[in-house]
Chains A and B, each alone.
Chain A
Amino acid sequence: MTMSDTTSNDPLFAEAADMAAGYDGRPVLTDVTFDVKPGETIGILGPNGGGKTTLFRCLLGQIEPLIGTLVVNATSATVPQSDRSRLDYPVTCLDVATMGALARLPWWRRPGRADRAKAGKALELVGLGERSGDSFGELSGGQRQRALIARALTAEAQLLLLDEPYTGLDTASTALLDQLIADLAADGRSVLITTHDVDQARQWDRVLCLNGSQVIFGEPADVLDREVLEATYGGQIIAIPGEPGYGVLPADHCGDDHDGHVHHGHTDETP
């Protein structure tokens, strides 16, 4: 499904205009202007500390923008990196998916059979139908990601925010995740994915590059040139021969760039 299939009458899921956000009055992210259409996939590129987590927090409603506007017209849910320390938590795959149901229940109601059934369907949607009874910690990295996506689906989120979901995934799991994201978009949900892989970002509808401030927002083919990437990642671009030609070193692995300055990105995003 491409963007041209959506009619221009569908309301946007989110829209930001000249937005800045941060903590304790100090902005860590500025000049953000973008929009999210229904059924769209948007890749978010940028170094660690560049504002991606802050942007997600704003979209979730956890923090208010300091300047500018941000309108969110959809239920959003975040799919964090599955924390290694939670691997021995006594939950099954189905338990995790069912947690999403809490988003739609008043505080005095517990998830019931119908909610568990919905969670089960969400698990099937992400390809984990057969593993619903397994411990969360027994799942592979890719499967844990998908279980957390199922949680977001049970919450009936229309706007999914995936935080570096491809980290540590093998080729097969990556392909599964690609397909799942495409399926979710085809169903009318929008998915924002943070990644460090520029090539990967080219497959999605649009990209947003953040490095403390917004560098660019647009379709990958149009906007992802060397200049943009250098502005986003500083001197951490290495040219890989072939088409299209640019590899990006993940920010953690970088020390000095060629000028001898150590690139840190912008101010730390402290929670």
Chain B
Amino acid sequence: MLDPFNLPYVQEGLIEILLLAVAAGLIGPWIVLRGLSFYSHAIGTAAFPGLVLADGLSFSPALGAFGMAGIFTGLSALISRSRRASADSVTALALVTCLAAGVILASDVFSSGSNIDTLLFGSLLAIGPADLWLAAAAAVLALLATGLFSDRWLAKGFDPESASTLRSGSRWLDAILLAVVAITVTASLSAVGALLVSALMVVPAATVRLVARRVSTLQAGTVLLVAAEGTVGLWLSVKTDAPPGATVAVVSGSVFGLTLLARVFERKARARGYARTA
């Protein structure tokens, strides 16, 4: 049963997942606590054409992804500041256009059509040394950032529209958080693909949040959960020949659902207990 893990590329995938577990496990809680789910998904999606370009022109995919992430974050800041209504519709349009551009580049410009699935949903076979280094860097960055800024991130709410009224110190805090999220998302692209980063970044953190009260337990729990779900997803991916992004998504979603059910039953049981003793 454990023989997938004898394969070298699976071992690399495992190392990647564990490194990502540190990064996503530490940063995921902040994504959930500060309402950045859409942002993290958007970074992943926007990266897609960058990845296609990098693939077609043979430069580092991380660079392609970072470039797009930077463009997207910059444009979002511009759009939300202008306060002209329909900011959300413009963002939605921009993201979909990124996907369309990626498709055109992949199918018609570079004719790398078969890679679209890999780029969108991840692939274990795609993990190379560069990806591992990136994941390691993201893990270290996540450790540093949460170590330094956890308290301050918790203390303030995040409202891009009021950014201009904040002291510049707090604006830097937000910028750092957004940047760390973007880097972590980029690091996870090779493993889970552009469309399913939330499977690592959001779903496990949301699951642990159902049961954890304090930020420290939330973070520790999420790291462990991402590691566990990632490993199981990896194993499933090899067994079923499906992309790892998809298997991790289904695993993490199922765990969320079960945890939710468990919490509902626990609450009902407790309520009944109170009723009986009352």
The residues of A with any CB-CB pair to B shorter than 8 Å are 85, 88
Contact = CB atoms under 8 A, between A and B. Distances in A.
Nearest to B85: A88
A88 B85 CA distance: 8
Interface string B73-115: 0000000000011000000000000000000000000000000
A88 B84 CA distance: 9
Q: How large is the interface on B (under 10, 10 to 19, 20 to 34, 35 or more residues)?
A: under 10
A172 B85 CA distance: 31
Nearest to B84: A88
3 contacts: A85-B85, A88-B84, A88-B85
The A contact surface, by secondary structure, is: helix
A85 B84 CA distance: 9
A88 B82 CA distance: 13
B contact patch SS: loop
B160 to A, nearest CB: 15
Contacts of A85: 85
Contacts of B84: 88
Nearest to A87: B85
B65 to A, nearest CB: 35
B165 to A, nearest CB: 16
Nearest to A86: B85
Q: Across chains A and B, which 3 residue pairs bring their CB atoms closest together, nearest first?
A: A88-B85, A85-B85, A88-B84
A201 B84 CA distance: 37
Nearest to B83: A85
Interface string B45-85: 00000000000000000000000000000000000000011
Contacts of A88: 84-85
A88 B83 CA distance: 11
B226 to A, nearest CB: 36
A85 B161 CA distance: 13
Nearest to A84: B83
Contacts of B85: 85, 88
A89 to B, nearest CB: 8
A12 to B, nearest CB: 43
Nearest to A85: B85
A140 to B, nearest CB: 20
Nearest to A88: B85
A158 B85 CA distance: 35
A85 B87 CA distance: 13
B86 to A, nearest CB: 9
